[in-house]
Chain A
Amino acid sequence: MLRYDSTSSSAGSSSGSLSSSSSSSKPPQQDIDGLLAGAGYKVRSSELRQVAQRLERLETAMGNSPADFSQLASDAILYNPSDLACWVDSLLTEFAEPPPTCSSDFIVDPVNNQTVVNSAWTAAEPHTPQVHQNITYDEQQSLDNQLTVVTAMEEDSGIRLVHMLMTCAECVQSGDLSLATSLIDDMQGLLTHVNTICGIGKVAGHFIDALSRRIFQGMGGGSVNGGSAFENEILYHHFYEACPYLKFAHFTANQAILEAFDGHDCVHVVDFNLMHGLQWPALIQALALRPGGPPLLRLTGIGPPPPDGRDSLREIGLRLAELARSVNVRFAFRGVAASRLEDVKPWMLQVNPKEAVAVNSIMQLHRLLGCEQTRNSPIDTVLSWIRGLNPKIMTVVEQEANHNQPGFLDRFTEALYYYSTMFDSLEACRIQPEKALAEIYIQREIGNVVSCEGSARVERHEPLAKWRRRLSGAGFRALRLGSNAFKQASMLLTLFSAEGYSVEENEGCLSLGWHSSPLIAASAWQAVPAWDNHMSSS
């Protein structure tokens, strides 16, 4: 196994060698890049930058003069093609390509041309390079050129990190834990070359932690959400403040619920995860101002049982009641303490048959997707009793990601892409400490997705298409979220200082994303009335 060495030739790196902690012997040609060696090419790591440049030039030359190229392809004999640097040079001399006037373009572009690196990782580009080096060039290049090389070297390290992460995940999947462990060491060394304040370095750091936790604790290793419910609430609150995902979820769900409650005088909302109840003030205010006057509002909030005997559910209920009293809305609150959603039984909710019921689930349904897909899995049980309540509307907001695949590598790849995008979107937030705590919240999710298995893994995100199939199969039909919800979501996003957020409408469902990668999707559902006939026949 060839190891990556921190090269000190053209870039003049000042940080230490990576292989200080290695136990295996150094291979004789330690300068050869390991990944390309695996593909059959011998390129010195120190020359990677120049070879890439020249390949670019060769590509443009081939494009510019296809006639020469065809002659080259048929008549030329190339010796030692595995020595990629010489091969490219000899081809270039054939084309007699004049040296380009500005070579800095070639340096920055390869990042965008890489198929592995998606647009989410170009966030690594704008930040100022953290590695300060004395760069000695033979030619007097401009300072810009030098800086782009340094930035490119960092991007290079970032790309390497991603490659190594994928390789490590593959090793974990195939069970080669010793190789995985050595890769973890390498990656942690590589992290010193990369800016871990933002960009790919930060996300990679979290994934490296999660991978090492998975390797060293064995399967089913510890609950990553080991924090108390109180901690989780605080982190959730800061995640709410720092980025618009939860605000979008709340406002969109409230708009749908408001429209569904139109004309009803007794309404009952069941919230699957009350937390601090931040969703409900806006609904209470909207109900207070609706034409025709406010209805009687009952709210049933489900939450984890308090560890220290403090009745947090009741406190939130009291706060909401005080708000409702201030705006003259008749309000009643009921708290249901349950550590898991599948433990809740419908009789606990005390639904009155005459009232209009709305069920609100913000990122809760995916927790019910256990690993076994049996007939009476928790998700089926819960969905069937929701149907039994005959709700006017069920609002479902879920992460738009595929983190519930059985294969670990697929899951890991998806999670890497998803959370990189999410961290990118968080970069725009300047409010501290909200941003730092929001990152810890996301970090816990990453840890759960990557390092937990079995019943400990609760973050089993599934994309909207899968939820559509699942809910339609359980006797629900989709309600379209109207244009009001879309308008409100667009306005809400414009308020956030980052310009990368986008709302998309997808067959009646709204999704919020960063630079057209959807990250969270909101949908509304209603129980199909004549479903029981279908059920008895299946």
Chain B
Amino acid sequence: MVQNHRREDHETGGENKEKRPKFFINDHVDILIEILERLDGRSLCIAASVCRLWCTIARNDSLWENLCFRHVSPPPSSVRSVVLALGGYKRLYTGCVRPVRSRLGRVRRASWARDEVQLSLSLFCVDYYERLGGSNSNGRLVEKSSPSSLMFLCKPVNV
């Protein structure tokens, strides 16, 4: 993009520099956010490695919140505080919503979208609880420090 910018500069010449506005997406963060909001999870992760600005924006939890509730009517506001308390939307999406959606993708019906998110939330909560146990000073409660209740979601589907 930087290359185009320079080429435009050369091509248009001196006096056209003022008339033709040069568009650099990073100057328009609101448009950038609008675009990033519409990406899917994988693209969003790729976008996060483009440059520092994109990385900062992609880390913003509200983008991931959009991803989680994209096909669902907006949830009540209480959901946000709960999800943030349990670890944030990015974690919710990557840990629960995405694997749940991909697993259920084959058999999903339209009415399941909301239930998928609710199920993901419940699983997410169990996961948070297990993480609590790992950080507990008395480590005897859970054998390993890494929570395992979501591991059944991590394995590839064995069809």
Contacts and interface: CB of A to CB of B under 8 A. Distances in A.
Contacts of A327: 81-82, 85-86
B122 A497 contact: no
B132 A491 contact: no
Given A241-B148, A289-B78, A430 B140 contact: no
A151 interface: no
Contact of A497 (B79, B130, B157): B157
B112 to A, nearest CB: 7
Interface string B143-156: 10000110111011
A434 B143 contact: no
Interface residues of B, number: 43
B57 interface: no
Contacts of A492: 119
Nearest to B81: A328
A278 to B, nearest CB: 6
Contacts of A487: 112, 115
B128 interface: yes
Interface residues on A, range: 35 or more
B125 A284 contact: yes
Contact of B79 (A282, A289, A429): A289
A499 interface: yes
Given A285-B122, A285-B125, A323-B125, A494 B148 contact: no
Contacts of A282: 122-123, 125-126
Most chain A CB inside 10 Å of its own CB: which residue of B100, B122, B132: B122
Given A241-B152, A428-B158, A434-B151, A491 B112 contact: yes
A278 B130 CA distance: 8
B34 to A, nearest CB: 29
Contact of B76 (A281, A291, A323, A326): A291
Contacts of B85: 326-328
B103 A495 contact: yes
Contacts of A498: 158
Interface in A340-385: none
A241 B78 CA distance: 29
Contacts of B136: 315, 319
Contacts of A326: 85-86, 128
A497 B82 contact: no
A277 B132 CA distance: 12
A274 B130 CA distance: 15
A256 B133 CA distance: 27
Interface of A: 230, 234, 237, 240-241, 251, 254, 276-278, 281-282, 284-286, 288-289, 291, 293, 310, 312, 315-316, 319-320, 322-323, 326-328, 428-431, 434, 487-488, 491-492, 494-499
Interface of B: 76, 78-79, 81-82, 85-86, 99-100, 103-104, 107, 112, 115-116, 118-119, 121-123, 125-126, 128-130, 132-133, 136, 138, 140-143, 148-149, 151-153, 155-159
11 contacts: A285-B121, A288-B82, A289-B76, A291-B76, A319-B133, A319-B136, A323-B129, A327-B81, A430-B155, A491-B115, A495-B103
